[in-house]
Amino acid sequence: MKSALLILLSGLLALQLTGCAAAPENRSCDLAAEPEAMTNAPGAGNKQDANPGPSAMEEQWGIKIQGVRLSAAGYMLDFRYRVLDPEKAANLNNRRIKPHLLDEESGAKLIVPSPPKVGPLRTSNRAMADRTYFILFANPAKFVKAGKKVTVVIGDFRTGKLTVE
C-alpha cells in the first residue's frame, strides 16, 4: 500500500511539476496555483523577517522548528515543528493557508501535494501544546538535495534559511 501511494504521488508530481529543475536562476519556478494574496503575504519581503532566530520563532509564533529532512526516497521534504503556544501557532495549521517551500539557490517554489483520497499532506488539526506537527513538500526529480538552504512560508510565517538534512 505504501509503495503504491509513493508511486502514485511520484507520478502525479512528475506530471504536475515537470520542468522545475531547469528553471533559470533569475526566475522563480512557481509550482503552485495559489491566490496572489497568499504568495505576497505581508512581511514576506520584510528584511527583519529574513532569518529570525529560534527565540524569535518561539516568541512570535509559539513553535520550535525541528528541521527539514528528505523523505520518501528524496521525493518529499518533511518539515517538522513543535508547538509551544497553541494560540500563537494556530494559523500554521489553518487549512485555508497554502504553505510552500522556497529553494534559496534557485528560487524554486515547492508545494504540498494533495492526493484525491488522502488530501493535503500536512497537519491541519487544531494546534496543541507539546505536540510535533508536519508538512510534506513535493520534491520532484529530487530537485532539493541534503545541505541546501530552504525557507518554509505559511501565510505571514517565514522560517528563514533552514538546511535540509
CA gap 158, 154 in Å, rounded:
7
Q: Look at residue 132 and give its three-state secondary structure.
A: strand
Q: Show the cell assigned to 52.
A: 529570525
Q: Which amino acid is at 95?
A: R
For 102-148, what is each residue's pLDDT tens digit?
999 999 999 999 999 999 999 999 999 999 999 999 999 999 999 99
CA gap 100, 155 in Å, rounded:
9
For 72-91, what is each residue's pLDDT tens digit?
999 999 999 999 999 999 99
Range of the domain at 14: 2-163
According to DSSP, residue 126 is labeled P
**H or E stretch including 29?**
none
Q: Do residues 134 and 76 make contact, with C-beta atoms less than 8 angstroms apart?
A: no
Counting the structural domains of the chain, the total is 1
Q: Do residues 62 and 82 make contact, with C-beta atoms less than 8 angstroms apart?
A: no
CA gap 87, 104 in Å, rounded:
30
**H or E stretch including 121?**
none
Is residue 37 predicted with pLDDT exceeding 80?
no
Phi then psi for 100, rounded to 5 degrees? Answer: -145, 165
Q: Show the cell assigned to 84.
A: 509551544
